[in-house]
C-alpha cells in the first residue's frame, strides 16, 4: 500500500481503491470504492463516503483480476457459476426448483435436458427435503413424465452425493467433462464456407436430425454455425451466448468427413467468428471417454474445468 498522502489521489480518480483511515479515538477504519474526488469515495452500493486527506494512513489501488475462463479448483464456487451459466444457454422446456436442486425435463431428448443438477452448498446441494425423501421426489418426477430419473452431478463439488447415489440404485452412465477456453484468434486456411445464423435453418437441423430439439434451442439466444462444401453442410454446431461466454453444443461432423481435419478447421473458424461477436470465453461438454474429441479440443486451447457424472436410476 502507498504511504499516507493525498497528493497522488488526484491521478487515481475513477480507480477502485482501498483506503485506511485514522479514527479520531485511535485505531483505523478501511473504506473501499471508486475514487470520485480526493475527498470522496463511491461505495459499490452507490453511497458516497467522505473523508479528509489528513485521515489517510495508507491507500492502494485495487487491480481487477483478469476476466478469464477460470481453472475450476476443487470445491470452487466457479463450478456452480459455470453450471448455472451453461444451463442459461441451453434451457430445458420444463424447469422446477426443489430447494437448490434444479429439475429439468424436455421429453426424450438429451440427458442434460432431462436431469437434476444440484446447485447449492455441498455435500448434497441443498434439496428442500431430507436426502432420501428428496431422491424419491426426483424418481417420482421423472416417472410421472415417463422418463428415466437422471442426476447430473458436478464433481468434485458433490462427490458425496455421487457416491451415495451409486450405493442406492443409481448407475453411472457417462463421466463427462466441462471444458473451457479463453478465446484467441486462430490461423486457418480454407476454401470451405462458414455460415452463421441467429436462427437454425431446416438444413442445419437436418444434419443431425435435430428437429425435436428446435423448441428447446429457441428458448435462449444462440448462433448456429455450419461448414459447407459445394453448398452442402458437412459440419454444424450451436453456440449459446451469455455475456462474454459462448457455450458450444451440438458440435457434429458428418462421419465421411472426419478424417480430413474438418473438425479442427470448423472449430477454428467458429472461434474466430465468436471473437468478432464479442465472446472472449467458451465452454463445452465432452464425454471423458471420447479421446478424439479430447485431443481436438486440447489443440484448440480448451482445458478441463470440472467433471460431472450422469447417474441413471436402475433401482426398483
Alpha-helix runs per DSSP H in 90-231: 131-144, 159-166, 202-208, 214-217
What is the sign of the dihedral through the CA atoms of 25, 26, 27 and 31?
A: positive
What is the CATH code of the structural domain delimited by 2-61?
A: 2.30.30
Q: What is the pLDDT of residues 91-107, one digit of tens each?
A: 899 999 999 999 999 98
pLDDT score of 77: 52
* Grid coordinates belonging to 168: 442406492
Dist. CA 304–CA 73, nearest whole Å = 10
Q: With bands split at pLDDT 50, 70 and 90, how would you rate the model's confidence at 194? A: very high
Say if 2-61 and 184-279 have the same CATH topology: no
Domain at 184-279, CATH homologous superfamily: Gcn5-related N-acetyltransferase (GNAT) (3.40.630.30)
For the cut 70, the answer to whether the pLDDT of residue 316 exceeds it is no
Q: What is the pLDDT of residues 146-160, one digit of tens each?
A: 999 999 999 999 999
Percent of the chain with pLDDT over 70: 94
Which of 117, 86, 84, 120 is closest to 103 using CA atoms? 117
Dist. CA 247–CA 90, nearest whole Å = 9
75: left (phi over 0), alpha (psi -120 to 50) or beta: left
Instruction: Give residue limits of the domains in the chain.
Output: 2-61, 77-175, 184-279
Amino acid at each position: 500500500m502507498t504511504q499516507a498522502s493525498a497528493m497522488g489521489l488526484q491521478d487515481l480518480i475513477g480507480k477502485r481503491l482501498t483506503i485506511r483511515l485514522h479514527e479520531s479515538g485511535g485505531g483505523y477504519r478501511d473504506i473501499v470504492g471508486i475514487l470520485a474526488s480526493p475527498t470522496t469515495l463511491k461505495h459499490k452500493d452507490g453511497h458516497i463516503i467522505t473523508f479528509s486527506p489528513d485521515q489517510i494512513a495508507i491507500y492502494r489501488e485495487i487491480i481487477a483480476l483478469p476476466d478469464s475462463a477460470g481453472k475450476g479448483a476443487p470445491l470452487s464456487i466457479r463450478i456452480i457459476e459455470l453450471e448455472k451459466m451453461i444451463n442459461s444457454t441451453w434451457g430445458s422446456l420444463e424447469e422446477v426448483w426443489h430447494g437448490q436442486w434444479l429439475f429439468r425435463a424436455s421429453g426424450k431428448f438429451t440427458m442434460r435436458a432431462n436431469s437434476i443438477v444440484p446447485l447449492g452448498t455441498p455435500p448434497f446441494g441443498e434439496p428442500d427435503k431430507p436426502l432420501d425423501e428428496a431422491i424419491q421426489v426426483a424418481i417420482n418426477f421423472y416417472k410421472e413424465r415417463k422418463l428415466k430419473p437422471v442426476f447430473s452431478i458436478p464433481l468434485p463439488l458433490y462427490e458425496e452425493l455421487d457416491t451415495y447415489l451409486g450405493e442406492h440404485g443409481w448407475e453411472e452412465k457417462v463421466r463427462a467433462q466441462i471444458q473451457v477456453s479463453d478465446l484467441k484468434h486462430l490461423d486457418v486456411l480454407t476454401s470451405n464456407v462458414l455460415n452463421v445464423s441467429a436462427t437454425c435453418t431446416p438444413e442445419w437441423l437436418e444434419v443431425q436430425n435435430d428437429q425435436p430439439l428446435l423448441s428447446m434451442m429457441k428458448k435462449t439466444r444462440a448462433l448456429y454455425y455450419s461448414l459447407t462444401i459445394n453448398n452442402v453442410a458437412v459440419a454444424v454446431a450451436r453456440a449459446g451466448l451469455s455475456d462474454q461466454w459462448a457455450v458450444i453444443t451440438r458440435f457434429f461432423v458428418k462421419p465421411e468427413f472426419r478424417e480430413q481435419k474438418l473438425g479442427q478447421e470448423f472449430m477454428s473458424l467458429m472461434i474466430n467468428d465468436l471473437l468478432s461477436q464479442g465472446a472472449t470465453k467458451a465452454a463445452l461438454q465432452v464425454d471423458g471417454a471420447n479421446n478424439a474429441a479430447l485431443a481436438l479440443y486440447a489443440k484448440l486451447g480448451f482445458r478441463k474445468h470440472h467433471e460431472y457424472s450422469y447417474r441413471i436410476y436402475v433401482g426398483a
